[in-house]
Structure 1
Amino acid sequence: MLFIICDDLNDYQGVFGGHPQAKTPNIDKLAAMGVLFVNAQSNVPVCSPSRNSFITGVYPHVSLDYGWTDLKKQPVLKHNKTIMRLFKENGYVTLGTGKITHGNVEADWDQWGMSLANNYGPLYFDGENKIALPTVPYPYSEIGAVDGSYGRLSDAGISLGKNGEKGLVYGWSNEPMRYINDNDRDLMQDELHAEWIVKKIEELEQREIKQPFFMGVGFVRPHTPMHAPDKYFDMFPIKDLKLEHWKSEDVDDIYWKNNFDPELKGTRYYKTLLESYNGNRELALKHFLQAYLACVAFVDEQIGKVLNALNESEFRDNTIVVFTSDHGWQMGEKNYLFKNSPWEESARIPMIIKTPDTNAGLKVEQPVSLIDLYPTLMDLCNLKGNHKKNKNAGDLGGFSLKPLLVNKPHKWEGPNGALTLVGNYGIKIPTEKQNFSYRIKHWRYIKYSNGQEELYNHETDPYEWNNVATDLKYNNVIKKLRKEVHEIINN
């Protein structure tokens, strides 16, 4: 079992069609060999609770995990077994590296790669503090070293890899990263993760005892700070870039500002970016988009290294591969630049599953979500045992995707759609008063905390420009989707 997850990766891959200029040959190749879920969704579009949820199989509205609580300390989920733990209990050797969860459960892994403290970045260190790259314009640079930084590695200047000097450092650890030029430098974190996985595949081939394995790798790109070597930026010249479809009045019929603080990151980041380019929306977003596409191309290459190593090994034909992301990212749609929103760009994720007997190239339109991965892996690998450590654990919320992995799909036992919770209120208000987004094949329905609703017809409105929730002719659609959301929440 090989599990690959990226961070903040939306549908900007060739096979998912999110951006026409995206360059992702390795992800595209995997899709051609596996099953592509074109309507997969995140259950909560922000890093920590999303990962805590799918790694335990428990919905966020069940665990009430909406923020950045360490998995080992979350009041409900600390009583659940991670999927790695269940594999380990079933005789698998577990190996992992990168960002898979926030707060690693060390006992779940037989072998672990890079320290979590080193994952973010590389960050720019000015000799005293970690800040944005010097090339990032003000005031966007004031957002900080992580979310406020994007650009080429070369923008940091030469760094000899000595403590206390200006230059690049690994994550929060302040460990210096040597950089002279793109051909003379230390490896970035995701390169080190890929290298580690490749090495472990080679080692597994040399074992005398043939024990099955669960191998997990969490790539950090394209998460901010969006830094990558020059060659990836050179793939996307600013003058040639195409921006996402957008219309200025798109915010006129949404209820975000009535339910969320307008100074939350997504809206604030968008306004700050435009301010940094003197209000020139096109120029501002093209600079940001260039960095995002560069980081996507960079991580695709690392994924390719891992997949090539697997395909050249003895495990090629008997290994299940899962590729996905924790959530998406909005690139200025609805004047929003971040994740953690209820709309398509933030909630939709890439998902590919390849099994030895998968029908290669199959596209599944049934909306599914990350919550379905836990029961799917249990089903595909015939894992035995309870997913709970004790009675205080949360119940499994998803359904096995195995029936959808064949050319003539069996009956899907799961719900009609996929549920996403935008939990900015935390546990301050009851579950039913949280903000929910629900995606079925042709519709997206959003129910805000104050009762306001949005409804988008994806057959005629793929960019979610026209909220038709107040149109009386869609009353029956609204009632049906309200009922389905209620059933999932209260199941």
Structure 2
Amino acid sequence: MSEKMPNILFLMVDQMAASALPFYGHPLVKTPNLSRLASEGVVFDSAYCNSPLCAPSRFTLMAGQLPSRIGGYDNAADFPADTPTFAHYLRAAGYFTALSGKMHFCGPDQLHGFEERLTTDIYPADYGWMVDWENFDTRPSYYHNMSSVTQAGPCVRSNQLDFDDEVTFRAQRFLYDYARNGEQRPFCLTVSLTHPHDPYTIEQKYWDLYDHDEIPMPRVPYSSELMDPHSRRLRFVYQLDEKTVTDEQIRNARHAYYGAISYVDEQIGKVLEALKQTGLDDDTIIVFSGDHGDMLGERGLWYKMSWFEDSARVPLFVHAPGRFASGRVKASVSTMDLLPTFAELALGAGKPEYAVPLDGRSLLPHLKREGGHDEVIGEYLGEGAIAPLLMIRRGRYKFVHTAPDPDQLFDLETDPLELVNLAQSPVHQELYQAFRDEVAERWNYEQLHDEVIASQRRRKLVYQALKQGKNTSWDHQPLFDAGTQYMRNTIDLDDLEMRARFPRVTS
């Protein structure tokens, strides 16, 4: 192991279904940059988020702790400032930590251990997007609806294109500045794009990468017989009934989604090129993952918010050819495992001292081919639910429990599309009861339910109060000192040009 702590480049995407990527078997989608990295790295075939919704998934990823432990229940949950994140641990170890892009932090702390945040966030930082389980039938206006699908197609510009173009530019600039400023600390740069998250629209040139007639339709089309109670509630949440969308609109949405994935790949390629140009690529570990997937019409469902595979399974690979031999890992792991992984990568042979108990477990044994865990624990406490929706993924099985609904038990080895619920299968009753007993042991279900309701009530009051009178925004405001940029009379011109040029000319 090198004496110098390695740089870490963490590439994140939003709402990326693992099944939509070519290195997970998709025959159509084009991602030359990501595919190259995956072929040279360690790919995790069964990686999951721990809560299939943006903010709670990201809080869990950053903290290495389940949502119930940190109060990260939904997209308007406060992420406590005293919750240690991987950025805190790495910064304490001597890293220069920076974030370009989305992390969906809610609350006054918009840094959470990052020394620099290079962009604002695309989503609001207040409590306005909170969930209200006590008034489920009153549908908030901010909830997903089906306009993302019914209006799917090419565009010239969009809100998300504006954001991700800036995210990429700021990430490139960070790498250039890091190299030419002679920074001695290792860096951990998180680059978090918001594509291919809906709305399903993308520039024409990315749309044109795909033949529309070749876009596959859902493998499991909508069927009322397939609808479990939670799925029915989700369709209510995003206002979907049997006549809401046409087959052509479904194909348009999937077409635009694939185009957005290719856009993401191109943006990541720009960051990788800057890494290479600055000579930082040899000593940088690259990690790629996402916050959750997208159902894309499978089973008649869209977006995320469930424990079905396309919603909860995410891409994950680690690219460090000089450290870890390329290959694939079949065991089930989660993005909650990234904090201890980053900490161990940073410290090498040293053992991290964690300030709080972690739920995540390091991926280093998997990367070194020394065994490793095969388990994912999940909690969904957001929109579409009316009570905690808990998940255990271990070995070939996935178990889902929520008190109001029948349990679900799937054998993903023989039934990868999750069409056969084994919860009432006579030959699986011993396994089923073991999962039931484990849920009862792991969680105080009634207490968790009450804590979520109490949090929703508190945040509702705070949000309504803060809307009255003068508004003080929590949204991150990136600050740039124009007095030290480009050409200024406070800086000698020759000195400025010398410092800004990379590589420097010494003669």
Partners of 1:144 and 1:245 lie apart in 2 by: 20
Aligned to 2:293: 328
| 1:326-405 correspondence runs (5 A) | 326-355=291-320, 357-382=322-347, 387-388=354-355, 395-405=357-367
Opposite residue 360 of structure 2, the aligned amino acid is G
Residues 276 and 478 of structure 1: CA distance in aligned 2, closer, same or farther (over 3 Å): closer
Paired amino acid for 2:67:
P
Aligned partner of 1:196 among 158, 170, 188: 170
Report the Cα offset of residue 108 of structure 1.
2.8
Shift in CA distance, 219/482, structure 1 to aligned 2, threshold 3 Å: same
The SS at the match of 2:304 is coil
1:275 is matched with which residue: 200, 220, 243?
A: 243
Partner amino acid, structure 2, of 1:85: H
The answer (yes or no) to whether the contact 1:34–1:358 under 8 Å persists in 2 is no
- Listed as ranges, the matches of 1:1-16 within 5 Å are 1-11=8-18, 12-16=20-24
Q: Counterpart of 1:163?
A: none
Q: Aligned partners of 1:32 and 1:489: how far apart in 2?
A: 39
Query: How far apart are 1:487 and its partner, in Å?
Result: 5.4
Corresponding letter in the other structure for 1:14: P
- 8 Å Cα contact 2:66/2:378 also seen in 1: no
Scaled by the length of structure 2, the TM-score of the pair is 0.74
Partner of 2:236: 263
2:204 corresponds in structure 1 to 230
Q: How does 1:164-243 map to 2 (within 5 A)?
A: 170=159, 188-243=162-217
- The 1:206–1:245 alpha-carbon spacing in structure 2 relative to 1, beyond 3 Å, is same
Q: 2 CA distance for matches of 1:257 and 1:195? A: 39
Whole-angstrom CA distance in 2 between matches of 1:426 and 1:254: 12
Structure 1 position 362, deviation (Å): 1.1
Instruction: State the shift of 1:247 in Å.
Output: 4.7
Kept after mapping to 1: 8 A contact 2:305/2:384: no
SS at match of 1:15: helix
Aligned partner (choices 418, 443, 460) of residue 414 of structure 2: 460
Matched, 1:437 2:391: yes
- Shift of the alpha carbon at 1:64? 3.4
Task: Answer with 467-476 or 7-16: which moved more.
Answer: 467-476
Match of 2:400 in 1: 446
Q: Give secondary structure in 1 for the equivalent of 2:213.
A: helix
195-204 or 416-425, larger mean C-alpha shift: 416-425
How many Å separate the matches in 1 of 2:123 and 2:52?
23
> Unmatched 5+ residue regions in structure 1?
121-141, 157-167, 172-186, 389-393
| Aligned position for 1:132 | none
CA deviation after TM superposition for structure 1 residue 378, in Å: 0.9
Mapped partners of 1:51, 1:378: distance in 2:
17
Question: Match for 1:152 among 130, 151, 154?
Answer: 154
Q: Does 1:32 align with 2:35?
A: no
Provide the rounded CA distance (Å) in 2 between the counterparts of 1:362 and 1:397. Answer: 26
Tell me by how many angstroms 1:424 deviates. Answer: 3.4
Contact 2:145 2:237 in 1 (8 A): no
Q: 1:31 to 1:489 in 2, by over 3 A?
A: farther
Q: CA offset at residue 373 of structure 1?
A: 0.6
Deviation at 1:387, TM superposition (A): 4.6
Q: Deviations over 1:456-491 (max 9, x none)?
A: 22222111112122110111222343345555547x
Preserved contact between residue 230 and residue 384 of structure 2 (Cα < 8 Å): no
Q: Deviations over 1:158-208 (max 9, x none)?
A: xxxxxxxxxx6x57xxxxxxxxxxxxxxx7321221222122212222233
CA–CA separation in structure 1 for the residues paired with 2:428 and 2:145: 42
Q: Deviations over 1:73-111 (max 9, x none)?
A: 44xx33212211221222111222100232463373333
Of 447-456 and 314-323, deviating more is: 447-456
Closer, same or farther in 2 for the Cα pair 1:306/1:209, shift >3 Å?
closer
Equivalent residue of 1:200, what SS? helix
SS at match of 2:169: helix
1:114 aligns with 2:138: no
Q: What does the per-residue CA deviation read over 1:315-354, in whole Å, with 9 as the maximum and x for residues that have no partner?
A: 2221111110000110222211120012111110001112
How many angstroms does 1:14 deviate by? 0.4
| Shift in Å, 1:397 | 0.8
The runs of 5 or more residues in structure 2 that have no matched partner are 1-7, 126-143, 445-507
RMSD of aligned Cα (Å): 3.0
Indicate whether 1:299 and 2:264 are aligned: yes
SS in 2 for 1:55: helix
Amino acid at match of 1:213: F
Match of 1:82 in 2: 85
| Residues 230 and 405 in structure 2, CA contact (< 8 A), matched pair in contact too | no
> TM-score, normalization: structure 1?
0.77
Distance 1:421 1:10 in 2: 19
- Are the structure 2 counterparts of residues 289 and 257 from structure 1 closer, same or farther at C-alpha, using a change threshold of 3 Å? closer
Bigger Cα displacement from structure 2, 324-333 vs 81-90: 81-90
- Output the CA distance in 2 between the equivalents of 1:39 and 1:207: 40
Q: How many residues align?
A: 415
Distance in 1 (alpha carbons) for counterparts of 2:224 and 2:375 = 25
Per-residue CA distance 1:407-436 (angstroms, 9 max, x = gap): xx2242x4x42122221379986xxxx211
Q: Is contact 1:119-1:220 (8 Å) kept?
A: no
Cα distance in 2 for residues equivalent to 1:146 and 1:304:
27
Alpha carbons of structure 1 residues 248 and 58: separation in structure 2 relative to 1, 3 Å: closer
1:59 pairs with 2:17: no
Larger Rg: 2
Aligned ranges for residues 469-488 of structure 1 at < 5 Å? 469-486=423-440, 488=442
